[in-house]
Chain A
């Protein structure tokens, strides 16, 4: 029975709870058992809150017993990336500088999960503060790809993706600044969606790059992803950049896409997201997926987005600039790590020593780049110029969406790479973001859906849509999913 639960979709599990087939406690315990049995190898979780999870599950069961109408995903377990603030549960952003910090408040999306009766299993691993593409920048060690434990699950939300791919959780929350949901989804053979910027509240997300950060859902099916999206999305008065607009009808879009008819839909293949550095297996799998979309009735055209070539340059100025400011608060004064306070050392010395000891190399690299880029005299040439590039990338998208409903590309130029393969080469690591950065910079929604296997590893197709047209991503992703003979994840070897 337990195995049955962990392989089920969130939609199924929710219906079990609702109709009494299973209790939320049984389902939760099954997933806690799975974590206990596998996480020594996967290292998806930084912290498992078994007690809290079971208490939540019991509360859901009690509500059902009392005859209450339960919310859609009540009783379904979810894993939450450890960059999302959770009241009473240690939140570290995978940094030594926040070790032991117990937040006194919940992120808005966590409040929404709790209100919807979802069961938070624990907090998942990531690259420190979301900076990286492999989880190797976590201060607590990397997570491993359930497909091949020597490989990365991607990053920065690698822990969340690995947890879902390893059947430790049916659902997970990630955050995506430059691809941190989509790339790990692609590398682990699951679905991950980065919503429209402003579509999901950032309140309670430990900020890396405020103008880019978005939280979003992971799941093994497109429908589950949409159901979780629906729970966390919507306007939030606590986040000024949150859009006061209706949540796109993502679940309806999945049902529409699953029907397998894409007549009237124009799919643009972005020619710039290909070529050098793209593995042939990845290119082949995505081309096959596009061919299947055509068979389902979609019109396929090629689209050129010339400014995408500058997205890395722009991103690696904007994100570090904002992070240099966002991470300034970690100074040993109010919470977190404090190093060198011998009651003699100066304030500056304690701050400097704490930050030197508490931040990892990649975080320091980005803080230094950002500090430089914002400096008086350099601002216009770097931060200012990068913002102009951002505008041009937005125009490329606008032009593309004049003729296309969605734009597609591989999610990642490569399949999951070996742990350690890129740790000495930051630029190679940054290349992992090549396909995902443009949508981040433009603030548009983008989903990664498994579309095939290359060399025994999963490949994801990225589907991008205009602002607040998240439903289009889901519709086409559902069609891709429906076009597969069997789920990609079924090809993964057993753990």
Chain B
């Protein structure tokens, strides 16, 4: 649908103060944060009609009279969406309403076909829950552009924060506006806008936390950890593909600051366009620093929507909420109340899969890891990879050693995620099998891994092709040892004089001569036998 109408022009933003340093913020202020997360459910059809809820169709093809809001069309609730929302509520330890209603949220915007959104207002489907969130320790974040909490001088330990959930409710998504003609693709400066209604009516679950208080310097990390944990829970439930970059998981971050020791909270802002986990953390930090500067200057924080910019890491002013929009909520008269039967809710509860926190606890115990070791595994994003490697027959110790050692180093060097590496848990298991059988030592194994990553084939093929194997011909090895002794008479004499530690140099020489294909322990034993 093309509209040649010029979008409304956003208000000019006030000149901004330079932000405060994060450490300085914390010397005077305490943050309160809150998160509103929107999750697009992966149901087959839309919330209130039979149109496909999938992505990628040509614009305005997955539409019908209902999701286009044509005169006379009526909504019919998608039972699968209700089921998903209840599952989410149960996973977040919420109470499930025995009776609740949809409500209309009235406001005019072209991407909203009816100019009201069917949502829930004072009667959410799920309410009063909590989610235990694992906040990683000091090394847990990949945030490279800022000192962040680590610069605060506190050596942070991994910890668990219980985030209270206010509500989980269902609503319909809006269409998508495409603003054309401006430099930024945003509404400001655009000459006209196009609207694609394929997204209109896709089921959306909104998950709202209660205010999170008392996290101080860790507020940005807690925000990120919450969204991470929530994403993992939703993924485990299989209710959404939870991809922040594609917008199936969207997060609005509320932030306010108040003076340390003061009971009353400050004015909050709502930051939108937070499109990655890293951005969640950065957005909170950025808002804390900005608001700190505003408060330090004796000004007041304006209650408004702010827009996060991935490139700069800062927020800019969006729509002001000073003149609070009156959405004129009222119960949706086109739908009957929802009354999930208690027995049905319990049957859904019985289908809940093992949730990430429970799984983590179980794996940590099965693998025999300390909290700190487990934290390192989690921080590296290696849980599933290690679990899969173990499932292929590798011991937990060996699996962890490879993924947190050699592979983490390579991922780091390539600036990629572990799971993006071109090697599978099954291949790692095979490499370890070759080590266990004595065919490879660790050094050779690393070369095999290098070959697999370079696309040279399966581990065995790589070992064969590269001629990588521990030298087991004792005659050849003996000759190499004799050569090394002959080439290093001084070292040999030291060993004869009882300085056994000097043997290392000769071992190194033999290893070098055999291109690493000898077993170091065997070499050492041969040297000592000859020089004793």
Which residues does A use to contact B, with CB under 8 Å? 84-85, 91, 93, 98, 101, 103-105, 107, 202-207, 209-211, 237-241, 321-322, 324-325, 328-329, 331, 333-335, 341, 343-348, 350-351, 371, 374-376, 379, 383
**With A93-B71, A329-B114 as contacts: A375 and B330 at CB distance below 8 Å:** no
Q: A383, B70: Cβ atoms under 8 Å?
A: no
Which B residues are CB-close (under 8 A) to A207?
71-72, 334
Instruction: List which B1-34 residues lie within 8 A (CB) of chain A.
Output: 1, 3-9
B352 on interface, CB distance cutoff 8 Å:
no
**With A331-B108, A344-B6 as contacts: A202 and B65 at CB distance below 8 Å:** no
Give min CB distance, A325 to chain B, whole Å: 5
Q: B108, A210: Cβ atoms under 8 Å?
A: no
Which A residues are CB-close (under 8 A) to B457?
none
Give min CB distance, B46 to chain A, whole Å: 14
Interface size class, chain B = 35 or more
B59 on interface, CB distance cutoff 8 Å:
no
**With A211-B333, A331-B108, A334-B1 as contacts: A98 and B74 at CB distance below 8 Å:** no
B69 on interface, CB distance cutoff 8 Å:
yes
Give min CB distance, B396 to chain A, whole Å: 53
Please measure, in the bound complex, the distance between the C-alpha atom of A495 and the C-alpha atom of B455, giving whole angstroms.
92
B302 on interface, CB distance cutoff 8 Å:
no
Give min CB distance, B255 to chain A, whole Å: 25
Q: B115, A383: Cβ atoms under 8 Å?
A: no
Which B residues are CB-close (under 8 A) to A237?
76
Please measure, in the bound complex, the distance between the C-alpha atom of A398 and the C-alpha atom of B85, giving whole angstroms.
38
Chief secondary structure at chain A's binding surface: loop
Q: A105, B65: Cβ atoms under 8 Å?
A: yes
Please measure, in the bound complex, the distance between the C-alpha atom of A204 and the C-alpha atom of B75, giving whole angstroms.
11
Which B residues are CB-close (under 8 A) to A345?
5-6
Give min CB distance, B200 to chain A, whole Å: 11
12 A-B contacts, Cβ less than 8 Å apart? A85-B70, A101-B71, A104-B70, A105-B65, A105-B70, A107-B72, A202-B74, A204-B72, A241-B333, A325-B104, A350-B5, A374-B328
Instruction: List which B152-196 residues lie within 8 A (CB) of chain A.
Output: 192-193, 195
**With A347-B110, A348-B8 as contacts: A85 and B330 at CB distance below 8 Å:** no
**With A210-B333, A375-B326 as contacts: A238 and B116 at CB distance below 8 Å:** no
Please measure, in the bound complex, the distance between the C-alpha atom of A284 and the C-alpha atom of B334, giving whole angstroms.
41
Across the interface, name the chain B residue whose C-beta is closest to A209: B333
**With A205-B72, A206-B72, A240-B76 as contacts: A325 and B335 at CB distance below 8 Å:** no
> Which of A91, A333, A374 lies in contact with B71, CB distance below 8 A?
A91
Q: A85, B71: Cβ atoms under 8 Å?
A: yes
Q: B116, A333: Cβ atoms under 8 Å?
A: no
Please measure, in the bound complex, the distance between the C-alpha atom of A237 and the C-alpha atom of B336, giving whole angstroms.
12
Across the interface, name the chain A residue whose C-beta is closest to B330: A374
Q: A325, B330: Cβ atoms under 8 Å?
A: yes
Among B3, B74, B75, find the residue whose CB has the most chain A CB atoms closer than 10 A: B74
Fill in one digit per residue for B240-253: 1 if any A CB lies within 8 Å of its CB, else 0: 00000000000000
Which A residues are CB-close (under 8 A) to B335?
240-241
Please measure, in the bound complex, the distance between the C-alpha atom of A204 and the C-alpha atom of B108, giving whole angstroms.
23
Give min CB distance, B100 to chain A, whole Å: 15
Which residues does B use to contact A, with CB under 8 Å? 1, 3-9, 65, 68-77, 104, 106, 108, 110, 113-116, 192-193, 195, 326, 328-330, 333-336
Q: Which 3 A-B pairs have the closest CB atoms?
A: A328-B115, A210-B333, A374-B328
> Which of A203, A324, A346 lies in contact with B8, CB distance below 8 A?
A346
Please measure, in the bound complex, the distance between the C-alpha atom of A85 and the C-alpha atom of B330, giving whole angstroms.
26
Q: A346, B65: Cβ atoms under 8 Å?
A: no
Which B residues are CB-close (under 8 A) to A383?
330
Chief secondary structure at chain B's binding surface: loop
> Which of B72, B77, B108 lies in contact with A85, CB distance below 8 A?
B72
Across the interface, name the chain B residue whose C-beta is closest to A95: B71
Which B residues are CB-close (under 8 A) to A347?
3, 5-8, 110, 193
> Which of B5, B77, B330 lies in contact with A346, CB distance below 8 A?
B5
Which B residues are CB-close (under 8 A) to A104?
65, 70
Give min CB distance, A200 to chain B, whole Å: 13
Q: A240, B77: Cβ atoms under 8 Å?
A: yes
Given contacts A328-B108, A329-B69, A341-B4, 7 further A-B contacts (CB under 8 A): A103-B71, A104-B70, A211-B333, A331-B110, A333-B1, A341-B5, A347-B6
Please measure, in the bound complex, the distance between the C-alpha atom of A383 and the C-alpha atom of B335, giving whole angstroms.
18
Among A101, A321, A374, find the residue whose CB has the most chain B CB atoms closer than 10 A: A374
Please measure, in the bound complex, the distance between the C-alpha atom of A458 and the C-alpha atom of B331, giving whole angstroms.
40
Q: B3, A103: Cβ atoms under 8 Å?
A: no
Which A residues are CB-close (under 8 A) to B108?
328, 331, 348, 351
Across the interface, name the chain A residue whose C-beta is closest to B111: A333
Which A residues are CB-close (under 8 A) to B3?
333, 347
Across the interface, name the chain A residue whose C-beta is closest to B334: A210
**With A105-B65, A237-B76, A345-B6 as contacts: A335 and B330 at CB distance below 8 Å:** no
Across the interface, name the chain B residue whose C-beta is closest to A201: B74
Please measure, in the bound complex, the distance between the C-alpha atom of A139 and the C-alpha atom of B261, giving whole angstroms.
65
Which B residues are CB-close (under 8 A) to A348?
8, 108
Please measure, in the bound complex, the distance between the C-alpha atom of A328 and the C-alpha atom of B106, giving whole angstroms.
8
Q: B70, A335: Cβ atoms under 8 Å?
A: yes
> Which of B5, B75, B326, B333 lies in contact with A322, CB distance below 8 A?
B333
Q: B114, A328: Cβ atoms under 8 Å?
A: yes
Give min CB distance, B137 to chain A, whole Å: 45
Among B1, B71, B333, find the residue whose CB has the most chain A CB atoms closer than 10 A: B71
**With A240-B74, A345-B5 as contacts: A376 and B326 at CB distance below 8 Å:** yes
Please measure, in the bound complex, the distance between the C-alpha atom of A84 and the C-alpha atom of B71, giving whole angstroms.
9
Q: B336, A240: Cβ atoms under 8 Å?
A: yes
Across the interface, name the chain A residue whose C-beta is closest to B1: A334
Please measure, in the bound complex, the distance between the C-alpha atom of A85 and the C-alpha atom of B73, giving whole angstroms.
9
Across the interface, name the chain A residue whose C-beta is closest to B48: A240
Please measure, in the bound complex, the distance between the C-alpha atom of A289 and the C-alpha atom of B69, giving whole angstroms.
46
Give min CB distance, A443 to chain B, whole Å: 12
Give min CB distance, A358 to chain B, whole Å: 13
Which A residues are CB-close (under 8 A) to B73?
105, 203-204
> Which of B76, B115, B328 lies in contact with A375, CB distance below 8 A?
B328
Q: B74, A346: Cβ atoms under 8 Å?
A: no
Give min CB distance, B203 to chain A, whole Å: 16
Across the interface, name the chain A residue whose C-beta is closest to B76: A240
Give min CB distance, B5 to chain A, whole Å: 5
Give min CB distance, A31 to chain B, whole Å: 26
Q: A98, B106: Cβ atoms under 8 Å?
A: no
Which B residues are CB-close (under 8 A) to A238?
74, 76
Please measure, in the bound complex, the distance between the C-alpha atom of A209 and the C-alpha atom of B330, giving whole angstroms.
13
Please measure, in the bound complex, the distance between the C-alpha atom of A371 and the C-alpha atom of B329, giving whole angstroms.
11
Please measure, in the bound complex, the distance between the C-alpha atom of A376 and the C-alpha atom of B324, giving whole angstroms.
10
Give min CB distance, A26 to chain B, whole Å: 33
Give min CB distance, A315 to chain B, whole Å: 14
Q: B328, A346: Cβ atoms under 8 Å?
A: no
Give min CB distance, A234 to chain B, whole Å: 16
Q: B115, A331: Cβ atoms under 8 Å?
A: yes
Q: B71, A98: Cβ atoms under 8 Å?
A: yes
> Which of A240, A344, A371 lies in contact with B328, CB distance below 8 A?
A371
Which A residues are CB-close (under 8 A) to B77?
240
Which A residues are CB-close (under 8 A) to B65?
103-105
Give min CB distance, A363 to chain B, whole Å: 14
Give min CB distance, A393 to chain B, whole Å: 17
Across the interface, name the chain A residue whose C-beta is closest to B102: A240
Across the interface, name the chain B residue whose C-beta is closest to A213: B333
Which A residues are CB-close (under 8 A) to B6?
343-347
Across the interface, name the chain B residue whose C-beta is closest to A101: B71
Which A residues are CB-close (under 8 A) to B1?
333-334
Give min CB distance, B64 to chain A, whole Å: 8
Give min CB distance, B81 to chain A, whole Å: 14
Give min CB distance, A112 to chain B, whole Å: 15
**With A345-B6, A347-B6 as contacts: A376 and B72 at CB distance below 8 Å:** no
Please measure, in the bound complex, the distance between the C-alpha atom of A376 and the C-alpha atom of B328, giving whole angstroms.
6
